[in-house]
């Protein structure tokens, strides 16, 4: 099993997604998974509800406050990726 990918069923079709990051919010007491669809340039998120035995299922994000939190986390995540890319480019320029 690939821990960096997940498969969702949307409108009866299986869709593969890359997991960008996960986050537990103490404020909302929920686990979130932020992911990008592999077949299109779209990022989304869901609440992961763990069941007995380590399995689980996804629920929709419910409130605007939750989406605001996830938007802030995504912006920070993407900013970190951009900084890493810049650092790698700087190292390449030094060679």
Q: What pLDDT digit, counting tens, does each position of 51-77 carry? A: 998 789 999 999 999 999 999 999 999
* Alpha carbons 12 and 32: distance in angstroms, whole number: 23
Average pLDDT over all residues of the chain: 89
Residue 50 pairs in a beta bridge with 56
Domains, the chain, ranges and CATH? Answer: 5-94 (2.30.30)
Query: What is the distance between the terminal CA atoms of the chain, rounded to a whole angstrom?
Result: 38
Q: What are the tokens at 57?
A: 């299922």
Q: What is the biggest distance separating any 2 CA atoms in the chain, rounded to whole angstroms?
A: 52
pLDDT top residue among 76 and 93: 76
Average pLDDT of span 67-90: 84
Residue 29: per-residue pLDDT: 97
């Amino acid at each position: 099993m690939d821990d960096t990918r997940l498969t969702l069923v949307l409108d009866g079709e299986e869709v593969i997604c890359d997991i960008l990051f996960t986050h537990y919010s103490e404020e909302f007491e929920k686990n979130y998974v932020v992911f990008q669809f592999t077949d299109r340039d779209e990022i989304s998120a869901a609440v992961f509800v763990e069941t007995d035995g380590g399995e689980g299922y996804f629920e929709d994000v419910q409130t605007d406050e939750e989406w605001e939190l996830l938007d802030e986390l995504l912006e920070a995540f993407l900013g970190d990726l951009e900084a890493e890319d810049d650092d790698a480019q700087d190292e390449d320029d030094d060679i």
